[in-house]
Amino acid sequence: MTDLGLSYVPGDTVVHRLDARTKLLAQFVVALLAFTWSDSLALPVVWAVVLGAMALARVQPRSVLTGYALPFVLLAIATLTRALALGPPWVDVDAGLAATLHSLRVAAILLASAVYVQTTPVSETQAAISRLVPGKPGQFLAAGTSFVLRFLPVLLADLQSARAAQQARLGDQRRLHERMQTVALAGLNRTFERADRFSLALKARCFAWNPTPPRMSFTRADWFVSLGFAGLLAAATLA
């Protein structure tokens, strides 16, 4: 496991103490509002909610930037690509502004997911999804989500170590496409090897599709937060 923005960080903040179902609802509302609320207030409100949640959860911005470095870089590239033109006037302000707004929407959702991941143990996520989606489909979805949440940080750590090993032998002096090729190939190999070992580790400890869920309780704080997000959604719908 690695210390990136994509894994649980133990804590006792008010966000950590919320039930996973409340946090899933909040994430859903943030995503919905970010993309469907067309009012000029939408983005400021969404960002205020997300930044407020980050502060309450004591999520370190640096860890999120590290964990989501690739999506953030891609968003920046996409925005620049839309804003720049190949001929006069060279910069398309309207297109750039629209792309910036889209990128800000996606970035808000990424930050909201970082708050969720850093404050919610994987076993609670698995249990919450199993309860929200009944039957076999729920178990399948819950186990699949837990696989991703458990495996992704390990995989990213492997990619980082592949890149570090390359840099240690002056690989960073090579041209960009060569560097990308080397890391991508090493990363792909490691992904398959790591997946084999991960699967073996799960089997050795009797992996089950329906493990015992951790204790979960929907407290007054959960009701309060859930009603708040439901109210926000209602207000945006009526606006």
Partner 1 sequence: MIAVRDLVKAYDGVPALDGVSLTVPDGEFVVLAGPNGSGKTTLVRQFNGLLEPDAGDVLVNGTPVQDDLVAARTAVGMVFQHPRDQFVAATVREEVAFGPRNLGLPNDEIDARVADALDAVGLDGRGEDRVAALSGGEQERLAIAGALAMRPAHLVLDEPFTGLDAPAQAAVRDRLAALNAAGTSVVVVTHDLRDVADLADRVVVLRDGTIAADGDYESVHERLPDLGVRQP
Binding site for partner 1 (CB under 8 A): 1-3, 7-10, 121-123, 150, 153-154, 194, 197-198, 200-208, 210-212, 214-215
- Three-class SS of residue 197? helix
The residue length of the chain stands at 239
Q: How far is the CB of 214 from partner 1 (least distance, A)?
A: 7
At 91, is the secondary structure helix, strand, or coil?
strand
Least Å distance, CB 209 to partner 1, is: 9
Q: Closest distance between partner 1 and the C-beta of residue 6, in Å?
A: 10
Residue 136 or residue 174: which is nearer to partner 1 going by CB?
136
User: How far is residue 93 CA from its own chain's centroid?
Assistant: 30
Contact 11, 82 (CB under 8 A): no
Rank residues 74 and 201 by Cβ distance to partner 1 and give the closer one: 201
Structure tokens at 7: 């894994």
Of residues 209 and 223, the one with the C-beta less far from partner 1: 209
The Cα 31–Cα 54 span in angstroms is 16
Angle at 104 between CA 101 and CA 110, to 5 degrees: 150
Nearer CB in complex with partner 1: 170/206 = 206
- Minimum distance between the CB of residue 143 and partner 1, rounded to whole angstroms? 11
When the beta carbons of 104 and 122 are compared against partner 1, the nearer one is 122
CB of 137 to partner 1, least distance (A): 20
CA dihedral angle for residue 203, residue 205, residue 210, residue 212, rounded to 10 degrees: -170
